[in-house]
Amino acid sequence: MGAYFLVPVAAALEFALRGPNGTHSLAAFRDIAAQPELVPMLTVSLRIALGTLLITVALMVPTVVWVHLRLPRLRPLVEALSLLPLVVPVVVLVVGVLTAFADAPNLIKGTPAILALEYVALAMPFSYRALDAGVSAVRLPTLVEAARSLGANWPTVLLRVVVPNIRTAIVGSALLTTALVLGEFTMASLMLFDTFPTWMVRVGQQQAGVAVGLSVLVLLTSWALLLALSIAAGRPRGATSLFRRSS
């Protein structure tokens, strides 16, 4: 079963390392590093990822916490809205975005800012789920009451009590969001923006080896990060277990 994942990765590595006349060398990775557009394109995508992350955390953490504390009745509605991107395919959402924001100021629709704003929405099914699971796993009302009765104001409660308790969930949703931004091709290419994935496809049309090498690097990096998080989150918890439901 392991072969299932490993064969394409191994084949891609072999392909990327393939030199002329059946030789193999690390030249492809030198070629990758030598791409003049690599750093600019990676920078664009990382900046989009950072923007997406900041908005996601600032918007979703308070929302999920608030729903759990005060408005559990509205939880199905919030969940349904966050799952909407699973119902509206990205390619269709692009059509809508181009129509709905046709008259928006150029600052929004003409810069990759619109991508970050939409990626927040595209990531919601994962970010909401991850945060919701994280918040469900701690005794939030108890923690918040304790902090409030000790005189903490709401920002303090959120930043110094809630966030540290759900940091694994926050890191998890951050990683999935970053992976989404670094791999998202549909919206970026159809809205004619140049990002890391669209650049990769363009390079792949002339230098397949470079694009294949990049694909392997991106996949292995994301996988290593997710694996590290998965192991870190799965280790037995000592002191914090007091606040976790046993179920």
Partner 1 sequence: MPVPTGGGRRKPSAAVLGLVPFFAYTSVFLVLPTVSVVVGAFTDSAGRFTLGNLSAALQEPYLTALLTSLKLSLVTAVLGVLLGALLANAVVTSPRAVLLRHVVSSASGVFAHLGGVPLAFMFIASIGSIGLVTRALQAIGLDLYATGFSLFSFAGIVVVYVYFQVPLMVLVITPALEGLRPQWAEAAHNLGATRPQYWRYVAGPVLLPALLGSLLLLFANSFAAYATAAALTNGGVPLLPIEIGSLLSGNVIAGQENLGKALGLEMIVIVAALMGGYTLLQRRASRWLS
Site residues for partner 1, 145-184, by CB under 8 A, read 145, 148, 176, 179-180, 182-184
Of residues 32, 118, 131, 138, which one binds partner 1 by CB under 8 A?
A: 118
Cα–Cα distance measured from residue 235 to residue 141, given in angstroms and rounded to the nearest whole number: 25
Looking at beta carbons only, is 6 or 50 nearer to partner 1? Answer: 6
Among the residue ranges 34-42, 45-53, 96-104, 160-168, the one whose residues contact partner 1 (CB under 8 A): 96-104
Among the residue ranges 36-44, 46-54, 162-170, 230-238, the one whose residues contact partner 1 (CB under 8 A): 230-238
Q: What is the crossing angle of helices 2-17 and 27-34, to 10°? A: 80
Helix (H) or strand (E) holding 212: helix 208-234
Site for partner 1 in 125-144 (CB under 8 A): 126, 141, 144
Among the residue ranges 24-32, 43-51, 80-88, 159-167, the one whose residues contact partner 1 (CB under 8 A): 80-88
Structural contact between residues 70 and 137, judged by C-beta atoms closer than 8 angstroms = no
CB of residue 122 to partner 1, shortest distance in Å:
9
- Please list the alpha-helical segments (H only) found in 110-207: 113-136, 140-149, 154-156, 163-165, 167-183, 186-190, 196-206
Helix (H) or strand (E) holding 29: helix 27-34
Cα–Cα distance measured from residue 225 to residue 112, given in angstroms and rounded to the nearest whole number: 26
Of residues 26, 50, 98, 146, which one binds partner 1 by CB under 8 A?
A: 98
Of residues 156, 158, 222, 243, which one binds partner 1 by CB under 8 A?
A: 222
Q: Name 24's bridge partners.
A: 18
CB of residue 94 to partner 1, shortest distance in Å:
7
Cα–Cα distance measured from residue 125 to residue 187, given in angstroms and rounded to the nearest whole number: 17
Q: Name 244's bridge partners.
A: 138
Of residues 48, 57, 97, 131, which one binds partner 1 by CB under 8 A?
A: 97
Please report whether residue 95 would count as binding partner 1 according to CB under 8 A.
Answer: yes
Please report whether residue 201 would count as binding partner 1 according to CB under 8 A.
Answer: yes
Among the residue ranges 35-43, 44-52, 71-79, 156-164, the one whose residues contact partner 1 (CB under 8 A): 71-79
Is the C-alpha dihedral spanning 20, 22, 27, 32 positive or negative? Answer: positive
Site for partner 1 in 3-42 (CB under 8 A): 4-5, 7-12, 14-16
